[in-house]
Chain A
Amino acid sequence: DSGVTQTPKHLITATGQRVTLRCSPRSGDLSVYWYQQSLDQGLQFLIQYYNGEERAKGNILERFSAQQFPDLHSELNLSSLELGDSALYFCASSPHREIATNEKLFFGSGTQLSVL
């Protein structure tokens, strides 16, 4: 168990709809990263938050948005969903301290999104 919690584990919805994916990082971790993994593909970096602030953006569509709350949990919002948005969405957290000695990503178990 990585200590990162993602909910829900599975989500089935229709095209055009909006969904929210939730992530609770490991206790003490300040950074949250979101990744998208389409079937049999690699990890596509979407966005990173550190202590409530957006730190880096990857290939995130304008229809997608995210935020990190004061309690450090994060939500990824996907709107106007299309068939191609079907994928496994990972959240990962990291300590994000000044010294990188123990820095690493801890992944949640993912949310499998199916858009029908």
Chain B
Amino acid sequence: AQTVTQSQPEMSVQEAETVTLSCTYDTSENNYYLFWYKQPPSRQMILVIRQEAYKQQNATENRFSVNFQKAAKSFSLKISDSQLGDTAMYFCAFMKHRYLSGTYKYIFGTGTRLKVLA
């Protein structure tokens, strides 16, 4: 069974600095998708970034980028120029599509609470 591990329960970073959140996963699959979701104090779940496992190029979205290491099964999120609004819980998620059964399965990590300090 697939598992997603976020080994950093809490992190903090100074405003304007860069921070990296770690995520590792365990799977025997070759094709899958990875996500980072952000949950600010409002508790809304917001998609930050998405990565297809078959793509070698790391996904980027403005100040957010990932370091996807397929062989190591690692999917870290880098936040550059951290802003106070980045303060949130960040969840890493793994998704597998099973074509024959037409199902999608999502597995979430336990989250990393990030605090950006002024």
A contact residues vs B (CB 8 Å cutoff)? 2, 31, 33, 37, 41-43, 45, 50, 55-56, 88, 90, 92, 94, 96, 98, 100, 103-107, 109-110
Per the bound structure, the CA–CA distance linking A42 and B104 in Å amounts to 20
Per the bound structure, the CA–CA distance linking A41 and B97 in Å amounts to 26
Whether, in the assembled complex, B64 has its beta carbon less than 8 Å from a beta carbon of chain A, the answer is: no
| Contact pick for A31, options B33, B93, B104, B109, CB 8 Å | B104
A103 and B104: CB pair below 8 A?
A: yes
| Contact pick for A104, options B50, B105, B109, B110, CB 8 Å | B50
How many chain B residues have a CB neighbour from A under 8 Å?
A: 24
Per the bound structure, the CA–CA distance linking A107 and B89 in Å amounts to 15
Chain B, 70-101, CB within 8 A of any chain A CB: 91, 93, 95, 97, 99
Per the bound structure, the CA–CA distance linking A106 and B95 in Å amounts to 14
A42 and B110: CB pair below 8 A?
A: yes
Per the bound structure, the CA–CA distance linking A56 and B35 in Å amounts to 20
Point out the residues of chain A lying under 8 angstroms from B42, CB to CB: 109
B110 and A103: CB pair below 8 A?
A: no
Per the bound structure, the CA–CA distance linking A105 and B106 in Å amounts to 9
Whether, in the assembled complex, B11 has its beta carbon less than 8 Å from a beta carbon of chain A, the answer is: no
